[in-house]
Structure 1
């Protein structure tokens, strides 16, 4: 950095316009070097090591050596412990002396690094020698860690200049770790830097760049302030989620980041611990939104257009890498939290020790009770446990006979009550933290599994067809819409997919139909209407072959007796992969609370399915969301999910606590069911999957438990009657819902009926 500034000082003619005179500019850069040394010298990471100021002195340009060393010297005296500060100053002196003496000799660029590390080792050896054999392991470890990290940091500073993205990430991590020493109250400057940098990467960088920046800065914050590990993880999770869901869209990225911080706040050890996360997140969010887009494009230049033959395989490899990273993060979080959680072996001894510290330690009869009468006193104190567990407190009259010799019975009862409340609070805190950790790591694992599945699908995307690609590109060029990207691929089953990216354009329904006809003629396949996606300044059209089957849906619902809203939620659609999706979620209970759970589960599941997630992966992620919501109040929802491949007729039915479903074939219904539990009840999802084949004319009927109040026999008869009368799926759903409401009477629960019918494509 300083070398580049020195070159600017001598070559850039614009500097005199800012600060007249070369002498003034030189003083400015000397002051910048001293300020940098002052900030880096004050930094400290976990274990008491202070390597960054010494590392900066080892590699800074000779022109700024004394200024940088002066800044590090002042901060070492002012901010570091006395013993460590003296050692760092000795190493600093050796570094400056060696670099000054050998500055004109070749092949001596690492002499300062060796001199500083050797000086630290010699000073530590002298301390051990004059200490007469006494070894302070913490000071020795801090000194050794400082030497090793100083050498490593100096090598990295030289290897990755700040003008490169990797060097900028390194300097941001060091700055975040050092700025944590300036934390005051709820303000955590280093955490704010991490939030701003992660959001800037999500705004203008790639997912990979965002992951590197977020994880590196989270590690730096954790090293500098281990008590903020939950906040660092929340900021990294928010930045990664923003880059995954809405890359480049500032306002939506900001919303996703804020949601990630709110989710991370649930893992805070106490209410006061939420403030640093919210303050740093707000400051970082405001700073990131204030950065001009032109500055971000300088740091994160747009990537070169991908080579089509390698694009899908490259994306598959990246998704697989992200999946492995998320899985590793989950394992790391589990390992770290297991070591940092309060001990699990706490028992009633905690209450006994609290009584002994607060009441008996200053008592004049302490020796009599705890030396000569130790067994009697312990027996008496343990007899308080049943009373405390049943009533939550003890009174003087509850004291057993073994404690009758106590001369402060009221104080003893007060101490016992307070100690018991503390013990119970610690157990509840440990249980809550364990639940939140499990939810967080389950979410990471589920996301890793889903991304691995997407990577597998991309890796099997098929072979390109250059001849058809050229003809499709010529079609759009003839319309005045030059294709930015164009691909025609054939998957393993031989089905064609044509994807075209053009400048952002609006199409009418007639224009879409005409384009589909032309693409079908060129590809010599019967293509379906395309999926049109508008993203920033481009429009993407994806044409797929028309499926062999069509899907028809019929739905009907009736709220519970006396309720205005239903706790059931439905969603049905056909995605771009030729799959029909029908899902039914039943919130536990009735009324608005159940409606919130049902709608939340259905909406999240539908969004994940549209994004390409498999049924079980989507259900695992929704299970985590409902589990976090039910931490404060009992909630949950069942899931009934039918997925039908409209090319082959293969169907999959996934159930999580849902009521039985029905398959109607040839007018004869049969029941489909599987034992499982609803989402949001357990930490991990317990669901059941069933696969079967469908043919034209088959029905699959999904119902909520309110439709089965009077059993399943009447429902099978009603389905058989509807099939014989030739009802449409909508008519059948309405008929069954009305019949179920009549049968339930005053006991009517939320009733929902969904009918899926498979037909032949025309």
Structure 2
């Protein structure tokens, strides 16, 4: 039985490799084109500042704005100022960019600058460990994926304590690394699921709750594998996104349940683990709806605090909340 299970997982890994190659082809196809005129203006402007530019490209994507990549020849006395680079490229391209990322190899400096998106997220998070223990069976993470989106993740391992913590942290760690590397969420989920299934002979289950916020368009992609409700406050009205699905570690093929919604300034997204869902959900709905002045960090902390209070007469559990408010850049 074990050999059959391993064969099935290995076959799934090969299918996953095929999906990775497919994702790479889609990423190349998503590049709308290269703006050679702007690249020439950037080279001329930097040369006027005394810098030697070996190469420059201005790449535009479907939903990620413009990305400028510059290769500059540097010597021992060459000093690169991020402020100077930002000012020059903003003026040459006629757009606003985020602070440049610099890397060096030999006598070359690589500069990468991404166009500043319309929106950003104010993010706050809070957790409570079951019975005030040392290891939390929930794991969370959030990051900017380099393609114009902010990504937030929550995974809830089966039960509490060390074993649940290992499963949840493993799921979030693998998923985060694959997403940052540019893989699609479906492909990353398949690899994460396979990893949990072959981790040990004992059953390893973990939920996966993923939110992708496109900072250029305001589109929110909600993806769930066994995760509980996400709350969306849009234009002062609350929506509950339950999206039934199975957690990771059960079947060879894991699938997300998906929904999209478009948000604008001052809309909210609240993700929680199932430790929050005690009794009637009216209290958390009322809390989110009436939240006006406090920060995202304060809202997440208040949700966890209220959930702890309501668990006093019930068994304790790990509790996690991530609160996110849409804000405009600039």
TM (norm. structure 1) is: 0.41
Give 1:537 deviation, angstroms. 7.1
Superposition deviation, residue 638 in structure 1? 0.7
1:462 matched to 2:29: no
- SS of 2:322's equivalent in the other structure is strand
Q: Deviations over 1:509-537 (max 9, x none)?
A: x9223311210100111122233445687
Q: Aligned in 2, Cα 1:520/1:444: closer, same or farther, shift over 3 Å?
A: same
Q: Which residue of 2 aligns with 1:558?
A: 128
Deviations 1:391-425 (A, max 9, x none): xxxxxxxxxxxxxxxxxxxxxxxxxxxxxxxxxxx
Question: 2:162 and 2:106 mapped to 1: Cα distance?
Answer: 38
- Partner Cα distance (1:437, 1:505) in 2: 54
- Select the residue among 748, 751, 760 that pairs with 2:316: 748
Q: 1:242-641 maps to which residues of 2 (within 5 A)? A: 431-477=1-47, 481-492=51-62, 495-502=65-72, 511-533=81-103, 538-629=108-199, 631-641=200-210
Q: Is residue 758 of structure 1 aligned with residue 326 of structure 2?
A: yes
Closer, same or farther: CA 534–612 of 1 in aligned 2, 3 Å: farther
Give distance in 1, aligned partners of 2:229 and 2:75: 46
Distance apart, 1:578 and its partner CA? 1.2
SS at match of 2:133: coil
What 5-or-longer segments of structure 1 have no aligned partner? 1-430
Counterparts of residues 52-71 of structure 1 (less than 5 Å): none
Q: How far apart are the structure 1 equivalents of 2:106 and 2:18?
A: 27
Q: 1:757 to 1:447 in 2, by over 3 A?
A: farther
In 1, the alpha carbon distance for the partners of 2:222 and 2:127 equals 21
Partner Cα separation in structure 2 for residue 466 and residue 635 of structure 1 = 51
Deviation at 1:487, TM superposition (A): 0.7
Aligned counterparts of 2:107 and 2:6: Cα–Cα separation in 1: 40
Q: Distance in 2 between matches of 1:626 and 1:611?
A: 20
- State how far apart, in whole Å, the 2-side matches of 1:494 and 1:661 are: 25
Structure having the higher helix fraction is 1
Counterpart-to-counterpart distance in 1, 2:185 and 2:101: 22
Name the CA distance, whole Å, in 2 between partners of 1:592 and 1:464: 50
Q: 1:436 to 1:494 in 2, by over 3 A?
A: closer
Whether the 8 Å contact between 1:658 and 1:678 is mirrored in structure 2 is yes
State the distance in 1 between where 2:173 and 2:64 align.
33
TM-score by length of 2: 0.91
Q: Give the alignment partner of residue 713 of structure 1, picking from 282, 288, 305.
A: 282
From 212, 217, 224, the counterpart of 1:655: 224
CA RMSD of aligned residues (A): 2.3
Q: Cα–Cα, structure 1 residues 532 and 571, in superposed 2: closer, same or farther, change >3 Å?
A: farther
CA contact 2:69–2:111 (8 Å) conserved in 1: yes
**Distance (whole Å) between structure 2 residues aligned to residue 574 and residue 454 of structure 1:** 19
CA contact 1:626–1:680 (8 Å) conserved in 2: yes
- Deviation by residue 1:367-394 (Cα, 9 ceiling, x = unmatched): xxxxxxxxxxxxxxxxxxxxxxxxxxxx
CA contact (8 A) 1:472 1:522 kept: yes
| Higher radius of gyration, 1 or 2 | 1
Compute the displacement of 1:481 (Å).
4.8
Structure with more strand by fraction: 2
SS, match of residue 311 in structure 2 = helix
Q: Secondary structure at the match of 1:609?
A: helix
Deviation at 1:551, TM superposition (A): 1.1
Structure 1 residues 443 and 504: CA distance shift in structure 2, 3 A: farther
Matched, 1:696 2:254: no
Q: Is 2:215 the partner of 1:646? A: yes
Q: The residue matched to 2:42 in structure 1 has which SS? A: helix
Tell me the SS of whatever aligns to 1:747: coil
Matches of 1:519 and 1:754 in 2, distance apart? Answer: 35
SS at structure 2 position matched to 1:637: coil
Deviation at 1:707, TM superposition (A): 0.7
Paired with 1:505 and 1:753, the residues of 2 have a C-alpha distance of 49
> Does the C-alpha gap of structure 1 residues 570 and 537 become closer, same or farther in structure 2, counting only changes over 3 Å?
farther
Deviation at 1:717, TM superposition (A): 1.5
Separation in 2 of the partners of 1:472 and 1:652? 35
Q: Residues of 1 paired with 2:191 and 2:251: CA distance?
A: 13
Match of 2:303 in 1: 736
Aligned match of 1:671 in 226, 233, 240? Answer: 240
